[in-house]
Structure 1
Amino acid sequence: MNDHRMNDQPNRMIEPLFLRRASILLLFLLWLTVHSQGQAVSVKARVDRSTILIGERLQLELEVAIPETSAIRFFSIDTIPHFEFIDKPAPDTLNTTDGTILRQRITLTSFDSGQWVIPALPLVEGEGPYTDSILVDVVFSPMDTSQPYHDVRDVMTEEVVEKKVWDWKIIITGVLAFVALFVFLVLYFFKRKKPATRTVPRVDILAETLREMEQIEQAKLDDKAYYIQVTALFRNYLHRRIGMDAGEKTSVQLEQWLKTLSVPAVQLNAWKEQWEKGELVKFAKGQVAQEDREQMARVTREVMRTVEEITLKMEAHANLAK
């Protein structure tokens, strides 16, 4: 009997130790299960109202909570039966201590009256996790019972009002009167005596310039002053006769312009030669004889007369064109 008691004592000591270890293991497994579920991806779907009128807008909010250890992903929704997408912006991202939260607010509407279900939406097609399905009522606008009821009436016929037709005789009389008044006014203003225009005598610029040339020749000027006044007189003639700003032109530019005016080459070459001599004299780089001074005056007169003839022909042609 004593032996039996001695054998039973060790068994009683083992049982509490086994139960303690089993309890610890069970609690660890339970904690592991809860922790692993807390780290799983969670999805939510909700709407801002459960009943809308036909064509009224509905806000559908989708939310995904993703742990740090999971890959970032979001719903891929193109259609929802009985609903139409109005606005589908990109999801907003919110970083938290536990991971990342993605939210998207989709604007929907429906033109089908009835009770419709937004189905459970999978985060990954065919795999999940899935949102809860949502029931939405789409109804017509309720009748306002406070307003009086109107019976259906028969089709009303509109009375045709006869338009007043003007007498054709009155129309013709008015047109003839307007034409007669118009003719009278035209004849009256055209027959009025126009004031006599005052004729301004034309100034002979060439004749004045030639007289000034004679005065320069008669004045006993030195070579430099002589050439300066002759060239200045020629430039002034071009300015007064054709409005050319000859005072700002170089001798080369004047030569090119005379070419375009079709001044004969013989006159142009003689003019160029005399002007080159004049340039040397003006800068005290040469002297000329009396015959050179006379040649300068003669060539300048010939070129001015040629310019005058060409200008008169151009003016006559322009007057005929008018």
Structure 2
Amino acid sequence: MRQVFTHINNNRSATKRTPLFWLLAFCMLPFIGLAQEATMAVSVDTTQIRIGEQIQYSFTVEADTTDLVHFPEGQTFSPLEMVEAFTTDTVKANGRMTLEKVYALTQFDSGAYTIPPQRIQINEKAFMTDSFRIAVGTVAVDTTTQKMYDIKGLQEVSKGPWRIWGLPWYIFFGIVLAVLAALAFGIYYFFFRKKQLTEAEKEALLPPYDRALLELKRLENSRYIIQDEYKKYYSELTDIVRSYLEEEVNVSAMESTTDELITKLEMMADAGSLDLENDTIKQFKQVLQTADLVKFAKRKPESSVAEQDRKHIEHIVVKTKEAIPEPTEEELQQTEAYLAELAAKRRRNYWIYAGVAGLFLILAGLGIAMAKYGATYVKDTILGHHTKELLEEKDWVSSSYGFPPVHISTPKVLVRQKVELPAEAKAAILDVNAFMYRSSVGLFTVGVISNTYKAETEPDFQGAIEGLLAELESKGAKNITTKQDEFTTQAGVTGAKCYGSGKFAVPESDELIRGKYAVYLFGGKGFLQQVMITWLDGDEYAEEIAKRIEGSIDVKTE
């Protein structure tokens, strides 16, 4: 089938042509001759297929290279389903272009279907194609060789792994453990690990006696005497011995003058707390006096004298070490207790630092999560929220329920319900198919009902809504508000929508709970289809679930 669309503006008025008009017309002749009409052809490769087979629906447009051509987009071929839209094939020659667009269509129910007219837009002008009649046949089954089996009943399917933040629980906890391990390693590395000490740190940890001898040895190997830097030499020499006396003898030596320090040592020797000979103290006094002359009077001693003074200080350090009485057992116990208490204090400080660091990381993570997702979402993720878990189900169930079928996508599969019809209803209703999922917590429910009537009459949406509200009130619902609108599915099927709020009863509570509901009604001659959703008022996750289910509804009204 080939359709050609042309559009030529032609003014047939008999008005008088002015010379200017004929001049303009003559000038436009070359351009009129160049302008060509756009043509379009549409075709299908076959009008008969079997269930699940595909047809090729093709558009061929020939137009100028400057023309803008728009092909159909989305599921515009219903009741056939578009499987794939192939890339547009373009061929250009002599200022013209030929565009070919192919769509793969299919259908999974047998019957005769009509592909509706499709809209093609060329240069912002719309053109409609003709419709096509497609016959979809069933697949023949050889019952002589193929055994027939009864329909199997419903079976429980094991639930998938519990999810947190959209991740399976084992992956989530694996990430948490990895973060905790990294945190523990960081705490150990920065707080508990025995760090490699520098030479200066190792020297600082030496006992005062060993450190003093080491520093005197270093002073002996220095170049102060060779470079005539006696002031630096004697300054370091006296600092070494004064520091040693402060740490080992517990005398304030660094801030004392020479006379004050010697007086303190003599008093300690007289008291018996320091068994130091008078000759040693006099020798020490002489070295300190020489150092004072060098530092303050700029005296320059002989190099041999400077070297001899260093040896005298070394002798004084050794003698002082020997003069210190051995600590008593009580003093040793006090020292050990002090060291143990000091170690315990350090351990407590380490744990306090680690706890503060861990708490900071946790609070920082919570703050970032709240800033990005909101406090309510973070709280519900940590503490758990049933409808949030339903919304984040990775594999929603897309299925058709009842006959005539209602196709929807839900977080959980709907389970068939047994329906006992009253005697008065059996006179009018031929069959009822009911399916439902009800959350174990709260008010969230999803239900699908398909009613087939004995008489092929048009469905009464208003009567069905009134019956539904009456049924809710009979079960204890109160303060029901209702609104009604026309509702159209994505496939273009029109029905009715009834929605509102109220107070509803739930099995696990004696009190009425504030909730919302939405009912979608469709139907044709002799049947009525209903989809009903209820949820707790203020439950944002349930609101999103309801919107997602609403967008998935697909029905057939023939």
Q: Same fold (TM over 0.5)?
A: no
Flag the structure with more relative contact order, 1 or 2, with Cα contacts below 8 A and sequence separation at least 6. 1
TM-score of Structure 1 vs Structure 2, range by shorter chain: 0.3 to 0.5
* Higher helix proportion (structure 1 or 2): 1
Q: TM-score, normalised by structure 2?
A: 0.25
| Structure index of larger Rg | 1
Q: TM-score, normalised by structure 1?
A: 0.38
